[in-house]
Structure 1
Amino acid sequence: MFRTFTLAAAAAALAGGAAAQPVTPYSSAAAQQQAMRAGAVTSEQLVRLSLDRIAQIDKAGPKLNSVLAINPHVMADARKVDAERRAGRVRGPLHGVPVLLKDNIESWDGTATTAGSLALLDNVPQRDAPVVRRLTDAGAVILGKTNLSEWANFRSTRSISGWSAVGGLVRNPYSLDRTACGSSSGSGVAVAAGLAAIAIGTETDGSVTCPAAMNGVVGLKPTVGLVSRTFIVPISPEQDTAGPMTRTVADAAAVLTVIAGTDPADPATAEADKRRTDYVAALDANSLKGARIGVLRNLAGRHPDTDAVYEKALAAMREAGAVLVDVKGPEDSVLAQVGAAEGDTLRAEFKAALDAYLASTPEAVKTRSLEALIAFNSAEPRETPLFGQEIFEQSAKAPALTDPAYRKQRADAKTLAAQTLDRLMREAGVEVLVSPSGGPASIVDPVNGSRFFGSPSSLPAVSGYPHLTVPMGYVRGLPVGISFIGPAWSEARLLSLGHAFELATEARRPPEFLPSVNARPEVARAYDPR
């Protein structure tokens, strides 16, 4: 069905003399918008194509499990924006583009907001999160909700990324037996697999950037306070943020331009209106020329193949004119100190924030506190077949947010993280830092757990600084990303540099939906050479 439509779209574009390219499952949102402007495709047709692909790829076929729910009136929403276009009203570059939401973000469309938990199956809100309202006000069409690591990976120290009791395991489309990372697993996989050009994820520490990198897409964790968190199931008001997950940096810039802004209900966003800009207009294909970039190598040696891909990425930046400066650090002792404080403080913040959120949910939701959730999980075997709820239990015993020791620990950790990043950039005389976003995806192993090759996510997460990941290459067919980290409110520069890198390398390629890396010809031949 997709091939038939692609040919029809091409014919329609040619008949109208338009320059629009045929729409494919991997077309960017910008290309979809161009095709709609040319009359080659409608929003209704784009939605139908996404629904067909979800049925074929996500629910059948490879069975990715990345989409939890479909907006029941998505077709009506698409027809509405199509009618607006015919009447001459186009609200912007997202007008008519289908968008998926991580299922911890509330949308007033009849779908539940579950955070992946059976306890929230009745959490069907009659309110939109401001981030959703900004998208729909810009003409985007909410397609549905994506699966996630349950409770955004904040239930157990032994959790399996991408698993939820509501949706099961999200599978990596590059190798179905490998982790999709998390917690925005479904959002990353859905974009990678061509189910939608745009998804919204959320991050407290690594939950946008890790699944983006491991699924070969772009992911941006904005500065905390640039995007509203109201009506998003929380972990921490100190670190939580929503962010775009897309196949191109330009699409991420377009989404951020729409969703950034002040929300009176979220005090952290007080500066957002002053800080936000047109991130698409700020993109410059030549921005690497003359840019001073700090090169982090503290993850070197953990995965030599990733190191090799990183060196090629750095060479591409040099060729594009970047001035690369090796940066020593961050020190392991600093990372350990920040990590320990983060673990303690997040538990206190989670308890307070979650209790407040649950108290605001519809009356049909019966688990209205963390203590009630712990009891629910203990009584519901479908919640704990693979791992428990140690983080829940530890959080229930955490101190109140008024506790002086907690307040000092949080302030010290945030200051240390920010000062460390600031110092690394200042001493090297650079404007941003780059690092591998991590290693390739490990095999999902419910017995021994997954291997983890490290990540640069904690310092920007605890400091609240922005963190962008862009595809940089592949290891045995598995994607690896490169991270761009800058000071607070530096999204425009990060996106511009990431855009230039993306254009210089053209690293991203679509997934093959292989059952395993073992099925790759070069691996299979090595396993059985005779």
Structure 2
Amino acid sequence: MDTAPDTHMPLCNGVDIEDASISQLQQWLQDGRFTATDLTECYLERTRRLNGVLKLARSKWPPSLTRLVNAKIKYARRAVIEPNPDALDIARALDEERMLIGAEVPEDARVIELLRQSGGVLLGHGNMGEWAAMRATYYAAAYSSRGGQCRNPYNLAEHPGDTSCGPAVAVASNMCAFSLGTETDSSVILPADRNGVVGIKPTVTLTSRDGVIPESHNLDTVGTFGRTVEDAAMVFNAIRERPGDPISEVASEHALKGARFGMPWKRIWEKAALDSSAETQYRSLQALISRIRAAGAEVINAEIPSAEDMVPLDGGWDWDYPSKIGHPEQSEFTVVKVDFYNDIKKYLAGLTTNPNNIRCLEDIIQYNIEHTAKEGGVPGTHPAWPTGQDSFESSLAAKGIEDETYHSALSFIHRKTREEGIDAALGCHDKPLDGLLVPVQADGGVAVQIAAQAGYPMITIPVDVGDDGVPFGLAMIQTAFEDDRLIKYGAAIEAVVGGRPRPLFRNIHADNWMYIGPPPKGTVGSAT
């Protein structure tokens, strides 16, 4: 008979490290409570217990960890698709040096290079929703042909937020102390929100995209996940390209005294209030805002003037909604599909090894067709991708041509989300506000989309768990390069909340598909 995996966090040389902050871990390392090797082995053992199928390119593991190879745990999170075979060697070197000085690996992304220089031990590569909405209009959330179905550790029958899901699940499940994620539109903030962790999505260009698989150079950014604001901010400060405020200045709830926040009602809180399925989230978030006021902050109405132009009243996140009503010159996807065609070609051209000779989007599409049983390149041949790769095909049709429609769309989304959007809301009163408070899931993701199109920073703070067993949080948006202000007030709000709930691994026997997007006629499955 099948048995569920052990969900207990293993002790690290006798120390309980579950939910320990990065600062606590560093202190224990300095105090000699355990070594970097002990800590790495602890996280790897946690991954073995919870994650599922993992395969190693080469084995350097001790005998107790070799069961990772071809392990088949049925009820798995599948957050990690490949552990780093050198992790223990790196940890042993850190035990001797306690710092990686000048570590520069040519094939590393810039943010990984910076983490190595800061002494980070990289445990592995997270599972990702494969290309997400860039690949198809209707698809299984958080699924990849390489890693399988990534699941939410709070409720395994619900999806964990799609694109950067594995890194968020790994942090939520205590497989690691922090992780990185990439976002074009919602791919850091949504997984953080649905997995009960802090997510920081920086201002576009504040973290390097060098070495990162691209989607759109106009929107892409690298963000961080942590169990606390301090943890996520500490890692963010390690990878950012401009110096930021020291972590010691992360605020307590006392920093809320005199702070001023805005709540944009039209199309954002309005939708949350009208959606009966989001009733619990709406009530809980409103109660939190009352507590923020009680801590000394002023929270006032601050409308985003362009919200009614950008967001349909009865709809949620949809990056190609304008095209559907005859206005591709106003569509985010008009920009992204052109950028992707060009940016992925440039990225593939820089690979030092390319065994399948994949050089452009045409090659990706053809590969998926030729291996459709696994890759779902043809509609109806794989349950994860009922519509095949129709978004890829839209990008292919655009051919990377930056025509008048492309430039009009880019100008439109920037203007409507920046000067006629977030900036207008922040400056709508006698002095600029300290942030805009918004839901992430209860409004259907539209506030996240507005921040993404603007390229502006956003942070989400875990608040509670909804009726569906999935966490939700309160998010804050600021203007460009005000990331440190978000961190300061995010930490203050976190102190008011009083801590994140731990995952309970509900529905551990779940083995379902979890779809996102509008299902085509005749398709079996439900949209999320």
* TM-score using structure 2 length: 0.80
| Secondary structure in 1 matching 2:271 | coil
Pairwise CA distance, 1:295: 1.4
When residues 299 and 288 of structure 1 are mapped into structure 2, their CA distance, relative to the original with a 3 A threshold, is farther
Residue 298 (str. 1) matches residue 270 (str. 2) = yes
Q: How is 1:74-89 mapped onto 2 (pairs within 5 angstroms)?
A: 74-85=87-98
In the aligned structure 2, how far is the partner of 1:283 from the partner of 1:347? Answer: 38
1:270-289 matches, within 5 Å, as 273=242, 276-285=243-252, 286-289=254-257
Residue 284 of structure 2 is aligned to residue 309 of structure 1: yes
Report the CA distance shift for 1:257/1:7 in structure 2 as closer, same or farther (over 3 A): closer
Deviations 1:354-400 (A, max 9, x none): 11111112232422110011111111121111211011000001153
- Note if contact 1:355-1:368 (Cα within 8 Å) is conserved in structure 2: yes
Q: What SS does structure 1 have at the residue aligned with 2:293?
A: helix
Paired residues in the alignment total 448
> Contact conserved, 1:161 with 1:185, CA < 8 A, in 2?
no
What is the distance in 1 between the residues matched to 2:153 and 2:126? 15
Structure 1 runs not aligned, ≥5 long? 10-21, 96-106, 109-125, 262-272, 440-451, 519-530
In structure 1, distance between residues paired with 2:495 and 2:250: 11
1:19-58 deviations in whole A, cap 9, x for unaligned? xxx4423212222111111111111111101110111011
Q: Residues of 2 paired with 1:411 and 1:399: CA distance? A: 20
2:50 maps to which residue? 57
Q: Which amino acid in 2 is paired with 1:433?
A: L
Q: Which amino acid aligns with 1:334?
A: M
Hey, what does 1:103 align to over in structure 2? none
Q: Share of identical aligned residues, percent?
A: 30
Q: 2:154 aligns with which of 174, 177, 181?
A: 174
Q: Output aligned runs, 1:361-440, within 5 Å.
A: 361=351, 362-380=353-371, 381-384=373-376, 385-386=382-383, 387=385, 388-419=388-419, 420-428=421-429, 429=431, 430-439=433-442
Amino acid across the alignment from 1:298: E
Q: How far does residue 327 in structure 1 lie from its aligned partner after superposition?
A: 2.5
Q: CA deviation at 1:8?
A: 4.5
Aligned to 2:69: none
Measure how far apart 1:279 and its partner are: 4.5
Q: State the 1:299 CA deviation.
A: 3.2
| Contact 2:46–2:175, Cα closer than 8 Å, also in 1 | yes
Post-superposition offset of 1:517: 12
Give the superposition deviation at 1:409.
1.9
Per-residue deviation, residues 162-202 of structure 1 (Å, max 9, x unmatched)? 10011111010111110111210101111111101101000
Alignment of 1:125-274 (within 5 A): 127-261=107-241, 273=242
For residues 153 and 187 of structure 1, the distance between their equivalents in structure 2, rounded to whole angstroms, comes to 18
Distance between the aligned counterparts of 1:168 and 1:66, measured in 2?
Answer: 9
AA aligned to 2:434 is: E
Residue in structure 1 matched with residue 520 of structure 2 by the alignment:
none
Question: Alpha-carbon deviation of 1:155?
Answer: 0.3
CA distance in 1: counterparts of 2:296 and 2:178, whole angstroms: 31
CA contact (8 A) 1:214 1:478 kept: yes
Which amino acid counterpart does residue 70 of structure 1 have in structure 2? P
Cα distance between partner residues in 2 of 1:398 and 1:328 = 35
SS for the counterpart of 1:305 is helix
Where do 4+ consecutive residues of structure 1 move more than 6 Å?
1-5
The TM-score normalised by the length of structure 1 is: 0.80
Deviation at 1:348, TM superposition (A): 0.4
Runs of 5+ consecutive residues of structure 2 not aligned to the other structure: 1-5, 53-72, 313-317, 323-330, 377-381, 511-528
SS across alignment from 2:416: helix
| Cα distance in 2, alignment partners of residues 503 and 90 from structure 1 | 33
Matched to 1:38, the amino acid is: D
SS in 2 for 1:316: helix
CA change 1:72–1:338 in 2 (3 A) is: closer
Which of 332, 349, 355 in structure 1 is aligned with 2:339? 349
Match of 2:68 in 1: none
Three-state SS of the structure 2 residue aligned to 1:456 is: helix
Distance 2:509 2:367 in 1: 38
In the TM superposition, residue 343 of structure 1 has moved relative to its aligned partner by 1.2
Q: Which residue of 2 is the match for residue 71 of structure 1?
A: 84
- DSSP-derived class of the 1:348 partner: helix
Q: State the Cα RMSD in Å.
A: 2.5
The one of 450, 453, 466 equivalent to 1:459 is: 450
1:453–1:459 distance in 2 versus 1, CA, 3 Å: closer
The answer as to whether partners of 2:7 and 2:50 remain within 8 angstroms in 1 is: no
- CA shift in 2, pair 1:71/1:8, >3 Å: closer
The 1:325–1:212 alpha-carbon spacing in structure 2 relative to 1, beyond 3 Å, is same
Cross-structure match for 1:487 = 479
Q: How far did residue 352 of structure 1 move?
A: 0.4
Q: Is the 8 Å Cα contact of residues 298 and 329 (structure 1) preserved in structure 2?
A: no
Deviations 1:266-307, CA, capped at 9 Å, x for gaps: xxxxxxx3xx31341331212211110001323322211111
Give the direction of change, closer, same or farther, for the CA distance of 1:352–1:7 in structure 2 (3 Å limit): closer
